[in-house]
Amino acid sequence: MIALVVSMATLFAWALVADRLAHWSITAPVAMTAAGVALTVGPHPVVRISLGTSQAERAVEIILAILLFVDATAVPAGAIHEQRGLLARLLVLALPLTLGAGLLVGGLLFPADHWWLAALFTSVTVPIDLAPAAELIRDARLPSWLRGVLTVESGLNDGIVAPVFLLCLAGAEAHGGVPEAADDPLGAAVNALLWAVVAGVLVGRPAGWLLRRAWRAGWTRPAAVRLGIVALPLMAYALAIVLDGNGFVAAFVAGLGFTPYSRALPARTLHLVEDTGTLLSLALWFVFGEVVTQAFTGDFDGRVVAYAFLSLTVVRIGPVLLSLLGSGLSRADRLLLAWLGPRGLASIVFGLLAFIALTPADPHAADLIGQVMTMTVLMSLVLHGLTYGPLAERYARARERAAGG
């Protein structure tokens, strides 16, 4: 309970001075991470968080389910259709290339370890999250189309990578001798994915149709609709578990099915599930502070620094620039899209799930996953959080010069 008191007190303190802290790029995730580090460091920490339990794994999965559902519903109406060509380049071409580049870098830097572990590294560190540079979504210096593309990419990116993560985790568990690991990791991952899709389809579209029908018929009220929407990711998650599928993939599929119907519901009906996701995500940033403490307490592998840096730069920038060749975008547009690939919650959640799953039978692999995830997210907080403002200013000036010329 002390962890809950301290984390919520930290959030409240940040809320009192959020605008002032924003001038120094101190967002809520940064504040919660700093508090988590400060309160869990040392031989006698103020707060102790137990991460290696089945209850912790289930809690992390439920939080991810809600976040993926929110990501699926947060895609602006018409954004996919308007920028479908550019999004196809980023999600259909650049994303697989990025996964391949990450796998190659992991295999070269960690040749003594198996390729399943290298694949797990890349599936944990590739998903992007705008939290480390959250102000860019509201920054008028960037054109609305570019902000829309980044929003859609970050919303769909982690949901698309989730099945890849499941496959890589199953393979790493089988190679590491985890007792519960399936003999056929590919078959187990595909089976879990298929049942997850079934669960998501059974929940998302029917629930959206029923809520829209009930609202138009005057059978319900806004507060009840908001509560009903919060129930959907949890329902999809639980149904998938019952069917031996993956819960957070089911929640993402449910969100995709529900979204078209949500636009016929009253304004602000999604705010409750969005705020719930935000609150839970900030709790995870606090837990991330504990992970940071653990990562730097034991034997730290220096190659992790190189992997994290390459993941944030070459692994992201190269494939994106390659996919944007012939797109008609200016050089400044291409460079900004390639650079703005911050890592955050998706990496934290995937990394925590991998750490918890691998710890019992393969502590070495679990520690490496924790260190890779931690260093990648920390570097992203610094690199993307601190460079975003100057880059946006230079980008705006370049657009002005182009318009004037």
CATH of span 56-132+143-404? 1.20.1530.20
* Range with lowest mean pLDDT among 150-164, 221-235, 249-263: 150-164
Q: Where is mean pLDDT largest: 191-200, 270-279, 308-317?
A: 308-317
Cα–Cα separations (whole angstroms), residue 29 to 16, 91, 156? 15, 26, 21
Tens-digit pLDDT profile for residues 316-338: 999 999 999 988 888 888 888 89
N- to C-terminal Cα distance for the chain?
A: 61
Please check the confidence at residue 341 and state whether its pLDDT lies above 80. Answer: yes
Of the candidates 292, 318, 297, the residue with the CA atom closest to the CA atom of residue 375: 292
| Whole-number Å distance between alpha carbons of 190 and 196 | 10
Q: Do 32 and 289 contact (CB within 8 A), yes or no?
A: yes
The pLDDT of residue 25: 63
The pLDDT of residue 237: 93
Tens-digit pLDDT profile for residues 77-93: 666 677 788 888 999 99
Q: Do 286 and 28 contact (CB within 8 A), yes or no?
A: no
Would you list the domain boundaries of the chain? Answer: 56-132+143-404
Tens-digit pLDDT profile for residues 124-136: 999 988 766 666 6
Tens-digit pLDDT profile for residues 178-196: 556 555 666 777 888 889 9
The pLDDT of residue 377: 92
| Whole-number Å distance between alpha carbons of 51 and 56 | 6
| Whole-number Å distance between alpha carbons of 321 and 315 | 11
Residue 357 neighbours by CB under 8 Å, 6+ apart: 57, 169, 173, 178
Q: Do 291 and 51 contact (CB within 8 A), yes or no?
A: yes
* Range with lowest mean pLDDT among 7-21, 146-160, 217-231: 7-21
Instruction: Name the average pLDDT for the chain.
Output: 83
| Whole-number Å distance between alpha carbons of 114 and 397 | 47
| Whole-number Å distance between alpha carbons of 336 and 388 | 9
Please check the confidence at residue 24 and state whether its pLDDT lies above 80. Answer: no
Please check the confidence at residue 405 and state whether its pLDDT lies above 60. Answer: no
- What amino acid is encoded at 124 in this protein? V
Please tell me the pTM assigned to this model: 0.85
Q: Do 74 and 274 contact (CB within 8 A), yes or no?
A: yes
Q: Do 298 and 57 contact (CB within 8 A), yes or no?
A: no
Residues 123, 176, 64: CA angle, nearest 5 degrees: 35
